[in-house]
Amino acid sequence: MSFPKTGPLDKKRKTRPGFAGNARLNTPDPFSWRVLSIVRRIPPGRVATYGDIAELAGHPRAARAVGNVMRACRRHDVPCHRVIAAGGRIGGYGGNETLKRALLVAEGVIVSGSRVRDLGRVRWVPRRSRKH
């Protein structure tokens, strides 16, 4: 049986970064699952910071951990390019900042150099769901 390729294998723990759950099935741990679920909700043309996602996932000081989850994520249904660094910096994207910039621009986000312009206009703020 072979593992799906989602990132470098941590031979000591037999898991991949950001996916501390079942290594054989490559299932994400609860925090990673929440992060991926939140990032899937970011609409085209909008962005959120690593800190925004960490806060929404219930761990406001875990921005770096969100970055690690994004770096390890190889899923095509998760728009990782919509997650940026604080202050509008584009940040990495598996080492391909040019691709991240192109994806954001294609969605109508204005990028100048390595920053998103007018972050206040394009920053995603999820609606609070009403609980009945």
What CATH number does the domain containing 40 carry? 1.10.10.10
Residue pLDDT, tens place only, 72-89: 998 999 999 999 999 999
Instruction: Specify the pairing of strand 48-49 against strand 83-84.
Output: parallel
Q: Tell me if 116 is assigned to some domain.
A: yes
Give the count of domains, the chain: 1
Q: Taking residues 119-132, what's their average pLDDT?
A: 83
Burial state string for 32-49 with b = 16 or more CB within 10 A and e = fewer than 16: bebbbebbeebeeebbbb
Residue 94 has what pLDDT? 80
Residue 118 has what pLDDT? 95
Residue 28 has what pLDDT? 75
Residues carrying an active site annotation: 80
Q: Tell me if 9 is assigned to some domain.
A: no
Q: Tell me if 72 is assigned to some domain.
A: yes
Q: How many other C-beta atoms lie within 10 A of the C-beta of residue 112?
A: 9
Q: Tell me if 8 is assigned to some domain.
A: no
Q: Tell me if 24 is assigned to some domain.
A: no
What residue numbers bound the domain in which 87 lies? 30-122
Q: Scanning the structure block, which residue is given the tokens 């501390």?
A: 20
User: Which of helix, strand or coil describes residue 123?
Assistant: strand
For residue 24, give both structure tokens. 């054989």
Q: Tell me if 129 is assigned to some domain.
A: no
Residue pLDDT, tens place only, 15-70: 444 444 444 446 679 999 999 999 999 999 999 999 999 999 999 999 999 999 99
